[in-house]
Amino acid sequence: MSTPDTAPVIQIDIVSDVMCPWCIVGFRQLEQALGATGMGAQIRWQPFELNPAMGPDGQNLSEHIAEKYGASPEQSAQNRAQLQQLGATLGIDFQFSTDSRIVNSFAAHQLLEFALSVGLQHPLKLALFEAHFTKQRDVSDPQVLLDVAESVGIVRDDAAQVLESGALADSVREKQAFWTGHGISGVPSMIFAQKYLVTGAQGAEAYAQILRQVAQEEAAA
């Protein structure tokens, strides 16, 4: 994220799942805070699966919400409408339908791990959010993942090799275990400068306060 050369740049790890609408909401709020404070950030996306046991066929979103949280169809519809309204204020085009699905995100996390090594993790993460929430594409489908990877500049054959080999599966599992072992049980969870943990989408003003605090402490160190 570009900033003036003199602006503080803070490392922010965001533990997140592509299936989590509040993760993209939280990031967009953080983005607003960075703009308001004039600070920069080195963003690293860390893996978390909301539904690690999700089968290969996924599940209808409304059915999933009802089973997991006990929400009625009316409550689910109201929650989606509220998310769409909030998303619109942040430039997020949430598209929900009766056919919307939750899918397994483990392959996406492996691709994100590879993207980190080639400097394209952040654009890939945002593209995956858009593919899932706006375009309603199945981001557990290898061909969809390859399309999205290619769209942000990742060599398609390289991405295919990552998915086919499963070479990064253990690395993703290790990172997941690290974060859950440090008490993270919900997302988004943001770790500022490897010191301050903030959970949930807290809003631009709250993030701005944290950014200023971290910058002051680092300047005084």
Distance CA 29, CA 207 (A): 8
pLDDT of residue 26: 98
Q: Is the pLDDT of residue 1 over 70?
A: no
Q: Which two tokens stand for residue 126?
A: 């945002």
pLDDT digits (tens, 9 = 90+) for 96-127: 998 999 999 999 999 999 999 999 999 999 99
Give CA–CA dist 76/127, Å, rounded.
25
**pTM attached to this predicted model:** 0.94
Interaxial angle between packed helices 169-181 and 106-117, expressed in degrees from 0 to 180 and rounded to the nearest 10: 100
User: Has residue 219 got a pLDDT over 90?
Assistant: no
Cα 125 from chain centroid (whole Å):
6
Q: What are the structure tokens assigned to 15, written together?
A: 């533990």
Considering the chain, what is the average pLDDT of its residues? 95
Return the pLDDT at 7: 76
151-206 residue pLDDT tens? 999 999 999 999 999 999 999 999 999 999 999 999 999 999 999 999 999 999 99
The pLDDT, as a whole number, for residue 150 is 98
Residue 79 and residue 91: Cα distance in Å, rounded?
18
Residue 64 has pLDDT above 80, yes or no: yes
d(CA 203, CA 207): 6
Amino acid code (one letter) for 14: I
- The tens digit of pLDDT for each residue in 136-150 reads 999 999 999 999 999
Query: Which domains can be identified in the chain, with CATH numbers?
Result: 9-54+106-220 (3.40.30.10)
Say yes or no to pLDDT of 3 above 90. no
- Taking 50 as the threshold, does the pLDDT of residue 79 lie above it? yes
Distant-in-sequence contacts of 151-158, Cβ < 8 A, 24+ apart? 151/127, 152/115, 152/120, 152/123, 152/124, 152/127, 153/120, 153/123, 154/114, 154/115, 154/118, 154/120, 154/124, 158/114, 158/118
Q: Is a pLDDT exceeding 50 seen at residue 2? A: no
